[in-house]
Amino acid sequence: TGINAEYGRELLESMAWRAGRGLSTARVRPSRIVLIRHGQSLGNVDESAYVSTPDWRIPLTDKGRKQAQLAGSKLKSMVSDQRLMFFVSPYLRTRQTFEEVATALDPAQIIKVRREPRLVEQQFGNFQDVSAIQAAKLERHDFGRFFYRFPNGESGLDVYNRVTSFIGTLLRDVESNYALSEEGKGDLFQSMDLNGDGHISYHEFMTHQNTPVSYTHLTLPTKRIV
């Protein structure tokens, strides 16, 4: 495809740039990927918020901001002064989580922040009817979590496909930033919108670990911010 051709061209240019400077032409990979779920949101404590507020405008609660600050402190202790790239969902609650996380970091170590729409929450429809969504989740339990598609929304398969397509972008950005750096070192931080049962984080895990689809029907992702 055009996207793959463009990536191939950028990869060759990056390899040529590194070769001309005596650097390794081996494929560049991030040394670490950290997945952080957003803090507690208004929708987590009051599902009726989705009735009148678009999902992407649901904010964090005060508790959620404190959780995000704690996540930032944990991240800082994990990476120390290593450089970071942030991939952040454009949803309000996730952007607010990033803002709080970033307060624990040295601004100089954040080399890039990218808002990435493919990392948003699984789509359940527009303005949501609480009882209808609850009924759909019960039906999903019987049908199978991965293939069940919410009315006017997405299935787990849909989420998996867009998360998988994001991997190419992630690697391309790592390659590009490596080519512009002097040391070619650093960690990659992903801030992902993981509301509810954490479908984004779970399908990201499936992509990397080649987890069987049948496994998704037997397990539930843990609801944790880090």
Question: Which residues form the catalytic set?
Answer: 38, 121
Sign of the four-CA dihedral 45, 49, 54, 57: negative
For tokens 């398969």, name the residue. Answer: 157
Residue 10, C-beta contacts closer than 8 angstroms, at least 6 positions apart: 172, 175, 176
Residue 14 tokens, joined: 């990056």
Separation of alpha carbons 196 and 74, rounded Å: 22
